[in-house]
Amino acid sequence: MLMLPDGPVRDHAVLVENGKFREIGPARKLLARHSALRPVRLDGHLLMPGFVDAHHHLTQSFGKAQSFGQPSEIFKTVWEPLEHALDEESAYLSAKLAALEALRGGFTTVADAGTRAPVDVGAVAKGTEEAGIRCVLSKIVSDGTGGPAHLGRWDAHPLIHPSLAIAVPENATAEVIRKTAKLCAEAGAVFQVHVNEHLASVERSLKSVGRRPVEYLHHIGALGPHTLGAHATLLTPGEMRLLAKSGAAISYNPVASAWKGNGVAHATMLAAMGVRFGTGTDGTRGDGFRMIDAAETAQRLAYGMSAGDSSCGAGKLWLEHATSGSADALGLGRVTGQIAVGKAADFLVVDIAVPELTPSWDLRWELVRLANRDQITAVVVNGRLRLWQGWPTDWDGPALVRRVAEVAPEVVRRAKLQRVEPV
């Protein structure tokens, strides 16, 4: 079975060539046209687009439970110290570990929001490239330097797509933000920035620049189709309208809201208003099926129940925005996110002959609520098999895990994290 843009279809096949989908159609027709090729049968399985993580922090993977039980704004007490304690090897290991976890969870693309580690971002690129995942790789340019070099450094790379970032608008001058956004627009890259994540960030923006974050980006001319605002959990109706009119996108990060936030982005409202959005993990857990389950559940609890909305977008909405919608938000809509001719062969082979999905009545709903990571048999990125039954096919995943187990405790010790609730 194939999961095509219009829904699941049976008895269809794909032809993958040079890392892309070259043909898609009824299996009997493709077999007749390509009789010299040996087909790979996928009885009892679904071939579906890989999940696209629209917001990740690849160099925060050593933290994990260090962030649990903490107040909503923890980047000053947990994430900055942790990243500042990384050296080139540990930053590389952190990124590769995060990439492996993402692949195991069905992600074929991750968007890194930029590291604060005192290392060249090439260490992050090396980790993701070796793991075999597609990466939108950001460089934080709050000081206004390094943007053009970074955008040009990865030209024509098959898996690395450069991006520029400013962690939060208050971290840079209006001129630097405007310049960074313009550079991304001209290069066809995405400009990443955290906006309206929690009450502390909104109030800090009001005190420092007199406007809420999304309002401020619009005011200085940095809000456009190239802009990707992370989280956007606390939006006024006016800010939603600004996002819709400007063509800017956001990443809806439901697990982050549950674990450390004080708000849930009104994703169903954003969809109704035509705001582009993808879904992201924020580095919480690299599990695509649990992410879309959280996306629907958070929406139902925060908005659907009080409005009597029993559908909350249905399974179709959440599956689309975790694949093609996320790819579009990252500026990769022409590259990945769908099983479609000409797009990269980034896909999952999912075992659907399982008790949880039998009998099947509405596969998209069932994938959102019932599917699990352990059903992912294979992960393919750019036409190349990267994972088989949860582990890499061409490099030693368990060895990476063992090395991280040795290195990570020392990094955390050096970081001297400040926790409200100690481990």
With beta carbons less than 8 A apart as the criterion, state whether 352 and 363 touch. yes
CA 94 to chain centre: 16
Q: 347 forms bridges with which residues in the sheet?
A: 49, 380
Q: Is the model's pLDDT at 203 over the cut of 80?
A: yes
For tokens 């890194």, what's the residue?
Answer: 112
Token pair of 398, please?
Answer: 């368990």
Residue by residue, DSSP assigns 90-103 as: HHHHHHHHHHHHHH
How far are the Cα atoms of 32, 39, 83, 234 from residue 13, in angstroms, in the given order?
A: 12, 9, 45, 43
Q: What value does the mean pLDDT of the chain take?
A: 95
Residue 327: alpha-carbon gap to chain centroid: 9
- Residue 116 pLDDT: 94
The mean pLDDT value for 163-174 works out to 94
The predicted structure's pLDDT at residue 78: 87
Q: Calculate helix-pair angle for 314-321, 288-299, nearest 10 degrees.
A: 130
* CB 161, CB 191: distance < 8 Å: no
Least confident among 74-88, 101-115, 182-196, 295-309: 74-88
Tokens of 383: 């036409």
Mean pLDDT for 293-299 is: 97
Which tokens hold the place of 128? 């993701």
Q: Residue 421 pLDDT more than 90?
A: no
DSSP one-letter code for 301: I
Contact (CB, 8 A) for 332 and 189: no
d(CA 271, CA 400): 40
**Rounded Cα gap, residues 268 and 282, in angstroms:** 20
Helical ranges in 40-160 per DSSP H: 80-84, 88-104, 122-131, 147-153
- For residues 301 and 17, is the Cβ–Cβ distance under 8 A? no
Taking only the tens place, the pLDDT of each residue in 37-78 is: 999 999 999 999 999 999 999 999 998 888 888 877 787 788
Sequence letter at residue 130:
E
What are the structure tokens assigned to 193, written together? 């920035």
The pLDDT of residue 101 is above 90: yes
Q: What pLDDT, on the 0 to 100 scale, is given for residue 300?
A: 96
Superfamily of domain 2-47+347-392: Urease, subunit C, domain 1 (2.30.40.10)
Tell me the average pLDDT across 191-212: 94
CA pair distance 66, 68, nearest whole angstrom: 6
Is the separation of the CB atoms in 172 and 166 below 8 Å? yes
pLDDT at 384 over 80: yes
Contacts of 311 (CB under 8 A, 6+ apart): 304
What region does 238 belong to: left with phi over 0, alpha with psi -120 to 50, or beta?
A: alpha
For 36, phi then psi, to 5°, come to -80, -15
Residues 186, 13: Cα–Cα separation, whole Å: 38
- Look at 421 and 92; give whichever has higher pLDDT: 92
> In this predicted structure, what is the pLDDT of residue 423?
65
Domain 51-329 has CATH 3.20.20.140: yes
pLDDT tens-place string over residues 334-366 = 999 999 999 999 999 999 999 999 999 999 999
Mean per-residue pLDDT for 193-219? Answer: 95
pLDDT at 396: 97
The DSSP bridge pattern shows strands 227-231 and 191-195 to be parallel
Burial degree of 405 (CB within 10 A; 0-12, 13-18, 19+): exposed
Question: Domain segments of the chain: what residues?
Answer: 2-47+347-392, 51-329
